[in-house]
Structure 1
Amino acid sequence: MLVLVSLCQAQKSASKPKALLLPISKDPSTVQYITRLNFGTPSVPKTLVVDLGGRYTWIDCAEGYKSSTYKPGICGSAPCSLAESDGCNKCLSAPKPGCTTKNSICVINPENTVTEHVDFGELAMDKISLQSTDGSKPGPLDSVSDFIFSCATDMLVIDFARGAKGMLGLGRNPVGLPTQLASAFGGGFRHKFAICLPSKPKTNGVIFFGDSPYIFHQIDNKSMTIDVSSLPRLAYTKLYINPVSTAGASRKGEQSTEYFVRPKTDSHKLDPAFHQQQGIRWNKNKHTFDEAFFANWNESRVKPVKPFKDCYTATVRTPLGVAVPDLAFVFENNVKWDIYGANSMVEISRDVHCLGFLDGGSNPRTSIVIGAHQLEDNLLQFDLAASKLAFTETLL
């Protein structure tokens, strides 16, 4: 069960935007999805890896973090309670973010979900700012004071895209960014967000916080736009809370902050930060993948390219990717999410593509993980107030 957003400590903003946005880009080297969020006073943009299921936002504060509006999280304070602090730590080093007071500071443990490494971190608060939007064009920056995040050390910033200094946590909990924004801007700001991941480094993706419309330019005619939220093919399914944490380190009884939906058989989670481009992680102990998928496909199998096992030549292309049989996830009430070649096959080279499925291992945390490659060029709206997920088919 979610803590009510009115409990959030982020201070309310004087302005009342209906929606905010953050741009997303795809790093070509790591295939991670990155964004930039403005922190502190004076405002400094920080490059962060997008973590859809992250419990909270964390950044490396060890060097170069200077802000006149920074506040440490004092043990026993309301922000520490809201973040479900893991304990307290005495500030013994020289004054710096995370160590600016003689009082004990509460500890929350940030996780690098790329490497699955969990490290020590301290709760912090500072001003952040994001761009407002009416859904079709950007507006002025809006700020939130006392945004709760974790100050981590540079030991946690491993295997990130160049320049990235932390992770943007969009998880389903009181200190996830969507909940803090909804609390800060009041009842007129809807407790929801929508995300569209870019498939190519030179194209733009976006995260919308708050209400629609979501206006996109058409690929073949930039002068024409379409409100994706009004598409008749926008489908809905219920979001579920997993009562068992899927984080790398958790307390007994802690719920997962990741997003789960229920198909006709098992639970699926949506988590682009954990598996960046690596496709669908599939528990072969519970599922078998039907080789009939390729039975009528006249392409040659080639040597596997790690981490994938099923790789093929691919010569026939369509606007929806290489020409392969379509896949579909079927959720409750027969709601179907169709997946075409652009999202089912991972391009290794011009002529080689691999099926974007991975062996989940003998003891996976969930039976199926839907990877970021399947989400690219699709719009997904997470309505936390109504506990439902809306999604399009590919916008290509």
Structure 2
Amino acid sequence: MPGQCGKSHDQALLNFDVLTVTAIDERNEFNGHLGSYPFAACAPSSSIESFPANVSGVMALSSSRYAWPAFLYQPLSNILSLCLPSKPSGPGVMFFRSGPYYLLPQSNVNVRSYLSYTPLVKQQDSFGYFIRVNSIVIGKKSINVPANTITKLSTMDPYTTLRTDIYNGVVKRFSKVTKRLRPAKPVAPFSLCYSTSTTGLKVPDIDFILPDGKKWTVSTPNSVKQVTHEVACLAFVDGGATSEPAIVIGTFQFEDNFLEFNLENSTFGFSSSLLRKHTSCSSFNFTLINSP
């Protein structure tokens, strides 16, 4: 059983936890089984004040030998696939295997066929996941990205953060290609917003150009966030003039994108938006086939 936190709000105790892991046959869920995670911290409530109301902790999914994937059955631990939902009411899915993966309604289409791959880049003293971005293209025009720019893939940052020099170029270009849209007063943390309605907006794609000519397309559902009933904003944030790494891709840009972190081959696989394939991250068959 999981250990209990101390009564003091200032204590952070090293502990262990017991988690439920669900086995699948690529298309359906089976009943779960228990697995132990020997390294867990029982932290003071002050350390999670910035979390959403229904979140009580975090799980490490990095390449560290202390992160949870390292304690899975060994053949499963080197490939992590993540598919985050775009709606709070919809479930996402995470796999610890090489696939195949199937999402409804195309139950015979392996989602891996949608993936493009780019090398993962190791960073000294970091167990995070990094790739290189050579340029950013909006409306067929390239925004220059300094050579050897490292890009972090983060599930801790809610939106993509760009160093100021890159951010200014993206905002300037995006403003030009959306000049037909009616501007609105910015809503923090965003600086470029538009008047809209519940029908949303349609804007040009933002393409991250990767090594070997690969392209990760950020389409409207991942580039523009509806922040109020009448206002939508470009969901990119200015990280400051000295931000390192220069680009951090956050979770809003991950939503309804199938992502594969392959530590066996040191590659990162990405689908771009599954909505263009008429499916989503909430479309796995989550019905327990052994349920009554």
TM bucket (normalised to shorter chain) is 0.7 to 0.9
Q: Which runs of 5+ in 1 are unaligned?
A: 1-39, 42-58, 64-92, 94-118, 219-223, 244-254
1:263 counterpart = 2:137: no
Cα separation, 1, equivalents of 2:220 and 2:262: 28
1:309 counterpart = 2:191: yes
Go from structure 1 to structure 2 and tell me whether the alpha carbon gap of 1:151 and 1:145 turns closer, same or farther (over 3 Å shift): same
Paired residue for 1:385, among 247, 250, 264?
264
TM-superposition CA deviations, 1:255-274 (whole Å, max 9, x none): 1122100122311111122x
1:282 counterpart = 2:162: yes
| Residues 60 and 157, structure 1, Cα contact 8 Å, conserved in 2 | no
| Residues 122 and 152, structure 1, Cα contact 8 Å, conserved in 2 | yes
1:331 counterpart = 2:210: yes
| Residues 294 and 325, structure 1, Cα contact 8 Å, conserved in 2 | no
Q: Which runs of 5+ in 2 are unaligned?
A: 135-146, 276-292
Letter in 1 for 2:97: G
Go from structure 1 to structure 2 and tell me whether the alpha carbon gap of 1:263 and 1:296 turns closer, same or farther (over 3 Å shift): closer
Letter in 1 for 2:214: V
Shift in Å at residue 236 of structure 1?
A: 0.2
Paired residue for 1:157, among 32, 45, 48?
48
Q: Structure with the greater relative contact order (CA < 8 A, sep ≥ 6): 1 or 2? A: 2
User: Following superposition of structure 1 onto structure 2, how do residues 244-255 of structure 1 map, counting pairs within 5 Å?
Assistant: 255=125
TM-superposition CA deviations, 1:55-88 (whole Å, max 9, x none): xxxx98336xxxxxxxxxxxxxxxxxxxxxxxxx
Determine helix, strand or coil for the equivalent of 1:135.
coil
Letter in 1 for 2:238: D
Shift in Å at residue 368 of structure 1?
A: 0.9
Cα separation, 2, equivalents of 1:287 and 1:153: 35
Bigger Rg, which one = 1
Go from structure 1 to structure 2 and tell me whether the alpha carbon gap of 1:127 and 1:312 turns closer, same or farther (over 3 Å shift): closer
Task: Report which stretch shifted further, 135-144 or 194-203.
Answer: 135-144
User: Following superposition of structure 1 onto structure 2, how do residues 1-396 of structure 1 map, counting pairs within 5 Å?
Assistant: 40=1, 61-62=5-6, 121-145=12-36, 147-181=38-72, 185-187=73-75, 189-218=76-105, 224-231=106-113, 233-243=114-124, 255-264=125-134, 265=147, 266-273=149-156, 275-276=157-158, 279-285=159-165, 288-290=168-170, 291-297=172-178, 298-314=180-196, 322-396=201-275
Determine helix, strand or coil for the equivalent of 2:71.
helix
As a proportion of its length, which structure holds more helix? 2
Root-mean-square deviation over aligned CA pairs = 2.5
Cα separation, 1, equivalents of 2:4 and 2:51: 12
The TM-score normalised by the length of structure 2 is 0.80
| Residues 135 and 213, structure 1, Cα contact 8 Å, conserved in 2 | yes
Shift in Å at residue 177 of structure 1?
A: 1.4
| Residues 123 and 148, structure 1, Cα contact 8 Å, conserved in 2 | yes
Shift in Å at residue 173 of structure 1?
A: 0.6
Determine helix, strand or coil for the equivalent of 2:168.
coil
Match of 2:141 in 1: none
Shift in Å at residue 149 of structure 1?
A: 1.9
Shift in Å at residue 146 of structure 1?
A: 5.4
Shift in Å at residue 350 of structure 1?
A: 3.7
Q: Percent identity of the aligned residues?
A: 29
Go from structure 1 to structure 2 and tell me whether the alpha carbon gap of 1:163 and 1:344 turns closer, same or farther (over 3 Å shift): closer
Shift in Å at residue 283 of structure 1?
A: 0.6
Cα separation, 1, equivalents of 2:177 and 2:270: 29
Go from structure 1 to structure 2 and tell me whether the alpha carbon gap of 1:153 and 1:328 turns closer, same or farther (over 3 Å shift): same
| Residues 60 and 154, structure 1, Cα contact 8 Å, conserved in 2 | no
TM-superposition CA deviations, 1:188-217 (whole Å, max 9, x none): x35111111111112221111223122211
Cα separation, 1, equivalents of 2:181 and 2:55: 39
Cα separation, 2, equivalents of 1:241 and 1:60: 36
Shift in Å at residue 120 of structure 1?
A: 6.2
Letter in 2 for 1:179: A
